[in-house]
Structure 1
Amino acid sequence: MEDFYQILTLVGLFAYWLIAAGVVIRVIIKRRSIGVSLAWMMVIYFVPFFGVLGYLLIGEQNWGKARENRAKLMYAPYRKWFADLYLFRQYRPKELTEYGHSISSLCEQRLGIPSLGNNQLELQSSPQQILNSLIADIEGAQSSINLEFYIWHPGGLADKVVQALIDAAKRGVEIKLLLDAAGSRQFFKSHWPKQLKQSGIEVTEALVVSPLRMFFRRLDLRMHRKIVIIDNQIGYTGSMNLVDPAFFKQNAHVGQWIDVMVRITGSNVPVLNTINSWDWEVETNHRQLPEAPECIELNADHPIDMLQVIPSGPGMPSEIIHQVLLLSIYQAKSKIVITTPYFVPSENLMFALTSAAQRGVIVELIIPERNDSTMVKWASRSFFGELLSAGVKIYRFKGGLLHTKSVVIDQNHCLIGTVNLDMRSLWLNNEVTLAVDDLAFTQELSQLQQSYIDDSTQLEHERWRKRPVYKRIIEQFFYMFSPLL
């Protein structure tokens, strides 16, 4: 009997070795960045069984068979909708700056979505301003409201938004609400979903998490976009979830979340609406493509406010926002200012930032002093030494969890949206960002970034070099896992 158990143990070990070797071969065949591949190989071999299981569950961008098949069928009609934008007067490529033209060309080639003029952008930077503006627009809605968020958390002004939606539904406005199942779990546990549905509002959970589904698609794939469309004429997007910061994560000890949203009117609102329609159809298999932008005459004496909408995520060209970000950094001539709550850069992004600083570009990185993710906090710190050595200025914001995601290039052009500077946002989640080729808006955003700097502490290189050894060890430990965060 003892021999039998020894043989069984050997067979089991050999079988596990074959499985682990097979998974490692798959890691290599996928041809991702070397850092990501090495991180997964380390996890597989140093964490027996659980490393292999972890890769099978979250190692690849497995969207689920039903969603993948649905997206393939959706591609042609959505591609045609975007292609028709080239026929409108708002498509004015000659009006783009050199920076805007390069971003637009990349997006046209990879996404089939052009930059469009005739947009009016309003930067909103306080939760009261954002939520009250949204409530006012909901109260003025005539026909339709589409909302899509990663987190919707009950409490405070967020509840007044729900009540405004219920009142709008009662007067005949068609309303669709798409929320990430994991991010909005507290909302789905509340009484609000039932009340919304009773009022005739369609409420859908995106990427539902359950033990059964983990064997068919990646568990940590999330719907991270924040989009509101009202009557196909008013749009919102940016970093803010549908939460009142005074009622959200009060026990996290990071302070209130600091966010921005961009209120948009003009030609790109239907483009944002179409991205929302794509997400809605992926989840519900129901298509409702919006009407295209109106072909209005443009005033030649007035700036046309060029704007490029850039979605990313499963079913869309891989790493498109990562490419746009790298292109923006390499085009910078004088200054780059970045705000992000989670900073775990790719190898290419790290090289681009240090190279920019070394060629004389002022590079300023603004991150929160306190973070709600322990792993990200320590992994992020592992990059500080190299950045500081290259001349990058790092500011740690003291006024709360700085959640704004923005990049300003040369104080002339900017990126703003839902994208964190980490691998999850750049490679995995459903995201959207705006590339704004408009001087007035960019300078307003630049002033907001400066206000963040004024409420920050600059990290000194010499002081950072003298930090305790145990902190360096913790940083390096989490650095090994940074490609997976």
Structure 2
Amino acid sequence: MITFYTVISWLFFFSYWLLIAGVTLRILMKRRAVPSAMAWLLIIYILPLVGIIAYFLFGELYLGKRRAERAKSMQPYTTNWLKALQNYQHIFTTQNSDVAIPLFKLCERRQGIGGVKGNQLELLTHADDTLKILIQDIKRARHNIEMVFYIWQSGGLVDQVVESLIAAASRGVHCRLMLDSAGSRQFFCGSFPIKMRNAGIEIVEALKVNLFRVFLRRMDLRQHRKVILIDNFIAYTGSMNMVDPRCFKQNAGVGQWIDLMVRMEGPAATTIGIVYACDWEIETGERILPPPPCINKILSAQKSNRIIQVIASGPGFSEELIHQALLTVVYAARRQLIMTTPYFVPSDDLLHAICTAAHREVDVNIIVPRNNDSMMVRWASRSFFTELLESGVKIYQFKDGLLHSKSVLVDGQLSLIGTANLDMRSLWLNFEITLLVDDAIFGSTLAGIQDDYIAHSVLLDADQWAKRSFKSRITEQLFYFFSPLL
């Protein structure tokens, strides 16, 4: 019996270390960023069983077998659609500003489509205005309405959006909604989904959270895009979820959420439409490639020649493109760089690029909320402040609510607006979308909005920051350890 138990013990011991060695080898073979790899290895060796389970749950970007197969199978069709779009040469730009050229070339090379011109753009800074304008657009819709949101929560003006969608469906407009399962959990538990589906609106619960599939797909992968398409010509995107801020997270202690949306008319809606079509096919298996752009409408929009490039990220899309885009624009900055984000947990490469820009005497400004709804992100963000301040970066802490808008302005000319935060989840994991706008007039408008944010912010004083408590420093470094995983 002693021999038997000895053999069992050795087999268990051997299997245990074989498993740890296998996971270690898998982490090293993935060639992930060194800080991320080191964080995972430390967790696995300090808390072996917990660490291994956590790694299989959250360590790799795995979409799931069925979705991965759909993403792969749709690529030839998407490529052919993009090639066919090249026949509409009049919608593509042939000139960009000096600061935008490297980024637009990067995106064209990696996504197979260039920037498009002839777009009319409107920046929307107030949720009430955004929802009221959207309701009017829905009332005028004649053919189709497609939406994708991370969070959809009933209440306030959102209920009027629902009623307008039901009315649109009743007059024959094809309405599709794709909502993230975790973000819109409260919506799916309510009565509106049944009411909307009965009216003929297609509603898809994307990336369902299912404990029985916890090891078959990464459960914290989220559909984080916020996109609205109407009649393949009007499009919205930006940081705002489908919520009325007066009814959303009122007990979180951070104030109302402050968002930024872009409403556009023109061929940019066509390029956003292909992103939506890919998302829809990955989730449902149904192919809904958008029609080619309407030439008559585009010609009528030529009076406003805004140049736009669309960046889409997430499984099935160009890997690391948003991260590469951010690095490109930071290094391209010559005079000024202004960044707004609610969650600031940059990669080492992005942090180095921002600090280097400041050392090059670029006027670098970062605007973040003073109060944040995520305790972990709040402390992790603070761990980067010392290095930024020492480099000459100005850090503004917005005090009148949760500043949720995500924007970058480079030299007053090149604007980036979308759904991506400056954190690891947005840069490496979630489904995100970002608009690149190469236009000085649009940049001036965005600069005015950012100036207003600064006017309602407190500039972080380097001397005062250096006097923070030892306890705060320890807490910051503790959460910095987890920053590659946030």
How does the TM-score come out when normalised to structure 2?
0.97
Distance 2:85 2:46 in 1: 51
Distance 1:197 1:228 in 2: 18
More displaced 10-residue stretch of structure 1: 82-91 or 277-286? 82-91
1:146-185 equivalence runs, <5 A = 146-185=146-185
More displaced 10-residue stretch of structure 1: 13-22 or 424-433? 13-22
Structure 2 counterpart SS, 1:94: coil
Q: 1:76 offset after TM fit, Å?
A: 0.8
More displaced 10-residue stretch of structure 1: 31-40 or 302-311? 302-311
More displaced 10-residue stretch of structure 1: 83-92 or 407-416? 83-92
Structure 1 counterpart SS, 2:116: coil
Distance 1:89 1:71 in 2: 28
Q: Give the structure 2 partner of residue 222 of structure 1.
A: 222
More displaced 10-residue stretch of structure 1: 97-106 or 148-157? 97-106
Q: 1:3 offset after TM fit, Å?
A: 7.8
Distance 1:212 1:247 in 2: 33
The answer to whether the aligner puts 1:263 opposite 2:263 as a matched pair is yes
Q: Contact (CA 8 Å) 1:335, 1:362: kept in 2 or not?
A: yes
Q: Contact (CA 8 Å) 2:120, 2:301: kept in 1 or not?
A: no
Q: Contact (CA 8 Å) 1:150, 1:180: kept in 2 or not?
A: yes
Give deviations 1:364-397, integer Å, cap 9, x for gaps.
Answer: 0000001111111111100000000000000000
Give, as a single letter, the amino acid of the residue that structure 2 aligns with 1:319: E
Distance 1:298-1:316 versus aligned 2 partners, 3 A rule = same
Distance 2:92 2:112 in 1: 15
Q: 1:303 offset after TM fit, Å?
A: 5.7
1:41-80 equivalence runs, <5 A = 41-80=41-80
Q: 1:143 offset after TM fit, Å?
A: 1.2
1:424-435 equivalence runs, <5 A = 424-435=425-436
Distance 2:301 2:273 in 1: 27
The answer to whether the aligner puts 1:316 opposite 2:317 as a matched pair is yes
The answer to whether the aligner puts 1:237 opposite 2:237 as a matched pair is yes
Distance 1:272 1:299 in 2: 20
Distance 1:265 1:426 in 2: 27
Q: Contact (CA 8 Å) 1:144, 1:175: kept in 2 or not?
A: yes
Distance 1:405-1:90 versus aligned 2 partners, 3 A rule = farther
Q: Give the structure 2 partner of residue 28 of structure 1.
A: 28
Distance 1:86 1:448 in 2: 35
More displaced 10-residue stretch of structure 1: 99-108 or 88-97? 88-97
Distance 1:417 1:436 in 2: 11
1:29-428 equivalence runs, <5 A = 29-295=29-295, 304-428=305-429
Structure 1 counterpart SS, 2:48: coil
Q: Contact (CA 8 Å) 1:90, 1:267: kept in 2 or not?
A: no
Distance 2:183 2:50 in 1: 25
Q: 1:85 offset after TM fit, Å?
A: 2.8
Q: 1:299 offset after TM fit, Å?
A: 9.1
Q: Contact (CA 8 Å) 2:312, 2:318: kept in 1 or not?
A: no
Q: Contact (CA 8 Å) 1:310, 1:321: kept in 2 or not?
A: yes
Distance 2:300 2:180 in 1: 41
Distance 1:372-1:90 versus aligned 2 partners, 3 A rule = farther
Q: Contact (CA 8 Å) 2:119, 2:302: kept in 1 or not?
A: no
Q: Contact (CA 8 Å) 2:412, 2:447: kept in 1 or not?
A: yes
Give, as a single letter, the amino acid of the residue that structure 1 aligns with 2:441: A
Q: Give the structure 1 partner of residue 18 of structure 2.
A: 18
Distance 1:201-1:348 versus aligned 2 partners, 3 A rule = same
Q: 1:9 offset after TM fit, Å?
A: 4.8
Structure 2 counterpart SS, 1:306: strand
Distance 2:219 2:302 in 1: 51
Give, as a single letter, the amino acid of the residue that structure 2 aligns with 1:329: V
Distance 1:39-1:397 versus aligned 2 partners, 3 A rule = same
Distance 1:62 1:186 in 2: 26
Distance 1:425 1:215 in 2: 22
Distance 1:92-1:232 versus aligned 2 partners, 3 A rule = closer
Distance 1:179 1:16 in 2: 41
Distance 1:197 1:277 in 2: 20
Structure 1 counterpart SS, 2:235: strand
Give, as a single letter, the amino acid of the residue that structure 1 aligns with 2:411: D
More displaced 10-residue stretch of structure 1: 441-450 or 294-303? 294-303
Q: Contact (CA 8 Å) 2:92, 2:114: kept in 1 or not?
A: no
Root-mean-square deviation (Å): 1.6
Distance 1:300-1:50 versus aligned 2 partners, 3 A rule = closer
Q: 1:82 offset after TM fit, Å?
A: 1.7
Give deviations 1:380-416, integer Å, cap 9, x for gaps.
Answer: 1000000000000000000111000000001111100
Give, as a single letter, the amino acid of the residue that structure 2 aligns with 1:199: A
Distance 2:171 2:463 in 1: 63
Q: Contact (CA 8 Å) 1:339, 1:405: kept in 2 or not?
A: yes
Q: 1:94 offset after TM fit, Å?
A: 2.8
Give deviations 1:415-456, integer Å, cap 9, x for gaps.
Answer: 000000001000110000000001111111110001000000
Structure 2 counterpart SS, 1:52: helix
Give, as a single letter, the amino acid of the residue that structure 2 aligns with 1:104: F
Q: Contact (CA 8 Å) 2:329, 2:410: kept in 1 or not?
A: yes
Task: Count how many residue pairs are aligned between Structure 1 and Structure 2.
Answer: 485
Distance 1:363-1:27 versus aligned 2 partners, 3 A rule = same
Give, as a single letter, the amino acid of the residue that structure 2 aligns with 1:323: Q
How does the TM-score come out when normalised to structure 1?
0.97
Q: 1:16 offset after TM fit, Å?
A: 1.9
Distance 1:418 1:314 in 2: 16
Q: Contact (CA 8 Å) 2:119, 2:301: kept in 1 or not?
A: no
Distance 1:43 1:229 in 2: 43
Q: Contact (CA 8 Å) 1:131, 1:158: kept in 2 or not?
A: yes
Give deviations 1:208-251, integer Å, cap 9, x for gaps.
Answer: 01111211111111100000001111100000000001111111
More displaced 10-residue stretch of structure 1: 322-331 or 94-103? 94-103
Distance 1:92 1:106 in 2: 15
More displaced 10-residue stretch of structure 1: 263-272 or 1-10? 1-10
Give deviations 1:293-325, integer Å, cap 9, x for gaps.
Answer: 233586999562110011011011110011111
Give, as a single letter, the amino acid of the residue that structure 2 aligns with 1:231: D
More displaced 10-residue stretch of structure 1: 394-403 or 16-25? 16-25
